[in-house]
Amino acid sequence: MTDYTNEIQKRRTFAIISHPDAGKTTLTEKFLLYGGAINLAGSVKGKATARHAVSDWMEIEKQRGISVTTSVMEFDYRDYKINILDTPGHQDFAEDTYRTLTAVDSVIIVVDGAKGVETQTRKLMEVCRMRKTPVIIFVNKMDREGKEPFDLLDELEEELMIQVRPLSWPIEQGARFKGVYNIYEQKLDLYQPSKQMVTEKVAVDIHTEELDQQIGKPLADKLRGDLELIEGVYPEFDSESYLAGDCAPVFFGSALNNFGVQELLNCFVEIAPSPRPVQAEEREVNPDEPKFTGFIFKITANIDPNHRSCVAFCKICSGKFVRNAPYVHVRHGKTMRFSSPTQFMAQRKTTIDEAYAGDIIGVFDPAIFAIGDTICSPKKKFEFESIPTFAPEHFMRVRQKDTLKRKQFVKGTTQIAQEGAIQIFHEPDSGMEEVIVGVVGVLQLEVFEYRMKNEYNVDLFKEGLPYSYIRWIDNKDIDPKTLKLSSDTKLVKDFRDNYLLLFTSEWNIRWALERNEGLELSEFNRGDLQ
């Protein structure tokens, strides 16, 4: 095996996804703790003096105790190089999570043991199923009272529409929680709560009296009975079935109290896929191809508040990335060199000289990147499949209160729009003094307003708008300004100058199509693909 192939085989790039408050960010923290990336794990909802989670680095994330943007973190564990993407759970930021799922090779889903499968988890699983992404499920908060484990397994199968196979099993729960039996490693781990430090585990042979001594004979007998039932009911764990996305291994534990997490991580690095082929428009791109290729799946402004710069996150799909080497930005046809490519621990970043297929790197964005852009070695011109843009459902007209801050207003709205956190539109003959902001969820509007004030020092005038539907005009041979439209339909342009229509109802959409013969409308911006 060549050094290059060996490097690729070591990579594990995955996202942690869940419904809000299931414990996703807490689990991420504990992974970083085991990887030696941090010495002390933070909490998501901390007191004023407490440490916050490393992955929740925005001020608004610390205040609200939720993630509003995907964080990228990398660390070494055993002989593996791990890239974690901690995603927002809140549905208003689901678009960020969906985009992130295009850049990972596998997923860990966190489920709250008391609440079971929740709405957002169900939606995210649909995306994983569509993409055939391998999934591991971590049932969290076993140190609290919750559903019976077998009932949970039935619910997981039914709601997520995937076959499951427990690879660890809880001994009681809530105040009675004693630990888990690690089926994968055939060891017993006794519960020792510790929120911040890595604790030693006690291992015993399940088939000896030592088990009776450790947890008492009634619980030992119950555990042996449960394990027999598992072996009889659930198929034996098959890594091929897991990699095909047909079967999900299930682990139990408590992320907050740092229990069952290392067992999950140990199993994950062994069974999870190394970088997988990525679909381009013409063909599949294999990670072991020598030429560098990658695509931008996320853009973040102001990671470093001192520099006010934008960073584009690139998933490397094949080849080896080398600092200062010439690469082509395919959509613009420009050759670029990246002098300070970075890898991240949330907002803390280090400059790297090289990176391999599977890695996530950050490159400086001089305001030319868009989500979905392809970067590749010269003479290897092709494009990866585009990342769909969600149609906004809430609209607001905004302008700056202080006219002297026009420059900051334009910069702020443009940068935050480039991130994909909002979409901005303007009327055809107007400039950027006033824009219409479109978002998928209302909370995104709050975050936008907060960031404009705190990152760009701009106070906003806001006006709610009645529109609920958006359609891009696909026709190139129609003058949009001549269209017959109802009085409550608005013609606008997006920030790439594509024409689109805002509607208040589906009736208005039908009205426009009936009155304008040959008009073609789409829910997604196909102009992004050109």
Q: Please, which pLDDT band fits residue 203 given cuts at 50, 70 and 90? A: low
8 A C-beta contact, residue 151 and residue 250: no
Cα Rg for the chain, rounded, in angstroms?
25
Rounded Cα–Cα distance for residues 76 and 345 (Å): 12
Res 238 pLDDT > 90: yes
Q: Please, which pLDDT band fits residue 37 given cuts at 50, 70 and 90? A: low
Q: Please, which pLDDT band fits residue 501 given cuts at 50, 70 and 90? A: very high
Range 73-93 average pLDDT? 74
Q: How much is the mean pLDDT over the chain?
A: 82
Rounded Cα–Cα distance for residues 81 and 74 (Å): 7
Q: Indicate the range of 119-133, 360-374, 439-453 predicted with least confidence.
A: 439-453
Report the phi/psi class of residue 174: left, alpha or beta, with left for phi > 0 and alpha for psi in -120 to 50: left
Range 516-525 average pLDDT? 82
User: In residues, how long is the chain?
Assistant: 530
Q: What angle do CA 195, 10, 56 make, to 5 degrees?
A: 35
23-36 pLDDT, tens digit each: 878 888 888 888 77
Rounded Cα–Cα distance for residues 53 and 28 (Å): 9
First to last CA, the chain: 40
In percent, the amount of the chain with pLDDT more than 90 equals 33
Q: Indicate the range of 31-40, 301-310, 311-320, 445-454 predicted with least confidence.
A: 301-310
Amino acid 89: pLDDT:
42
In percent, the amount of the chain with pLDDT more than 70 equals 83
Q: Indicate the range of 47-51, 224-228, 324-328 predicted with least confidence.
A: 47-51
Range 300-328 average pLDDT? 80
Full set of structural domains in the chain with CATH: 3-273 (3.40.50.300), 279-376 (2.40.30.10), 394-529 (3.30.70.3280)
Closest CA to 270 of 235, 239, 225, 302: 239
164 vs 469 pLDDT, higher one: 164
Rounded Cα–Cα distance for residues 244 and 135 (Å): 10
8 A C-beta contact, residue 347 and residue 313: no
222 vs 214 pLDDT, higher one: 222
Res 241 pLDDT > 50: yes
Q: Indicate the range of 170-179, 297-306, 372-381, 508-517 predicted with least confidence.
A: 297-306
DSSP string, 156-169: HHHHHTSEEEESEE
422 vs 239 pLDDT, higher one: 239
Token pair recorded at residue 100: 């992130």
Token pair recorded at residue 417: 């729009």
Q: Indicate the range of 31-40, 327-336, 451-460 predicted with least confidence.
A: 31-40
Going through 123-193 in order, the beta strands assigned E by DSSP cover 135-140, 163-166, 168-171, 179-182, 187-190
Amino acid 494: pLDDT:
84
Amino acid 305: pLDDT:
56
364 vs 204 pLDDT, higher one: 364
